[in-house]
Amino acid sequence: MKPGELPSLLLLPPPPRPAGPLELSAAYRPTLKSVISKLRSSKSPNGSTLIIALIAPVLSGQFRRHKSLVWSEQQSILAGIYSLISLVCSQLSVATEVDGGPGSVDARVVLVDHDVTKRISEDFKLAIEPNSTVVVQLATFVAAYHPWKQIFSASTEAGHQQLTNYLRMYEGVQTLNQEQLIAVDGGLTLNTQSLESVQEARSTTTPHSVVCLGGTFDHLHPGHKLLLTAAILLLKVPDEGSSESCSFVVGITGDELLKNKKYAEFVQPWEDRAMSVIEFLSSMLELQKQGWKRGAAPKIIKKDGEITALFRSGTISVSCVQIQDAFGPTITQENMDALVVSGETRSGGAAVNAKRTEQGWHPLQIFEVDVLSAEEITDEPTKTENFASKISSTAIRKMRAESHM
């Protein structure tokens, strides 16, 4: 977590079933609008950071060390929430990027695995207990994510119950004043499918030891946050203390290739972009009982054209690699399993596998993330090929250029 003003927490109840764009909008949009409206008045020079905890039965599996998830389902929900964040911020004229300046809101969605129908036992103990995924369970979230500036919850019966359960577990971690607990507008959640029928239809995703992703990551915005979060959901996390590890390789375009971009003078330097990616990922990868104010920073290893951060006692490594072409480490490093792309980089994934096949290497499994849009949500299907209104680094640079005129 970045230094400075404390982040705030928003507790979100489980998503509706089904979790389509309209259903997610009805469930979460009033809450997001209310919270973002309050946070934009912050006087912090760097804006506000908001951690959005989506508390739901995300994971499958009886044993803690063998948990799994349905990647397509979870990335779709994440895309829906980040699209709502983009839409609300666009309507309120609130900047969404990391370090967006005064009045900005840097919102980050964290998946928290918890079955809200199960009662918390009287003798529960807070402990950090990682599983085989990067998704944390509620007890681990409470133990590692603190302290908070404010805690927001929906003013609905479900929201009140969720806050009560959370505070019961959070007691003793941080002393909170009543002013720090803020109830906001709640949405309408309709479940037309039973949870059991949804779970029966699930087909869990095989996790991978090495996952790769590429991009410019200039002025880290909701589209980048979705890609990065969706990608790390594919990681197979080894036991803490194990000699094994999993790796997330992020190819980040070098400065030289961005000289001809629009408003190139406002492109962030490569190292700033790399460190911004690592700092954002720490929101989901670093787990310490001391919290983010007193906990130790992850180990950072820098060498020419590469920055690596080690999380969770070295079981997870994040390597930001400077790339000078469209392929990056995918054609120089054979030991890779999966490549994450968006709709607009779909063809790049095919080109990567063609190159790897030419070299006699196994192709990468391609995972495609939904595209974000700041357009009004309707019952019309979204065309993934239409990127005109999506949140973009170019749009952010343009606004910064205009503010300097």
CB atoms within 10 A of CB 382: 17
Indicate the length of the chain as a whole number.
405
In 181-312, the DSSP E strands lie at: 181-184, 210-215, 246-253, 299-303, 306-311
The crossing angle, in degrees rounded to 10, of helices 222-232 and 270-285 is 50
- To which residue do tokens 């905890």 refer? 53
The model carries a pTM of: 0.92
What local confidence, expressed as pLDDT, does residue 266 receive?
Answer: 75
What local confidence, expressed as pLDDT, does residue 72 receive?
Answer: 95
pLDDT of the chain, 405 residues: tens digit per residue: 666 789 999 999 999 989 999 999 999 999 999 999 999 988 888 899 999 999 999 999 877 778 999 999 999 999 999 999 999 999 999 999 998 999 999 999 999 999 887 777 766 788 899 999 999 999 999 999 999 999 999 999 989 999 999 999 999 899 999 999 999 999 887 776 665 555 555 688 999 999 999 999 999 999 999 999 999 999 999 987 778 899 999 999 998 878 877 777 778 999 999 999 999 999 999 999 999 888 888 999 999 999 999 999 899 999 999 999 889 999 999 999 999 998 777 888 999 999 999 999 999 999 999 988 766 665 444 443 333 344 677 777 777 766 665
What local confidence, expressed as pLDDT, does residue 382 receive?
Answer: 43
Q: Distance from CA of residue 102 to its chain's centroid? A: 22
Is 151:159 a contact under the CB 8 Å cutoff? no
User: Within 13 Å, how many C-alpha atoms sit on residue 157's CB side?
Assistant: 1
CB atoms within 10 A of CB 185: 16
Element (H, E) at 269: none
CB neighbour list of residue 112: distance below 8 Å, 6 or more residues apart: 53, 54, 55, 56, 58, 135, 136, 137, 138, 141
What local confidence, expressed as pLDDT, does residue 333 receive?
Answer: 92
Helix extents (H) in 325-369: 346-358
Q: Which DSSP state fits 122?
A: T
CB atoms within 10 A of CB 264: 11
Is 339:352 a contact under the CB 8 Å cutoff? yes
Specify the amino acid at residue 174: Q
Q: Distance from CA of residue 97 to its chain's centroid? A: 13
- To which residue do tokens 């999993």 refer? 246
CA distance 371 to 384: 6
CA distance 171 to 65: 27
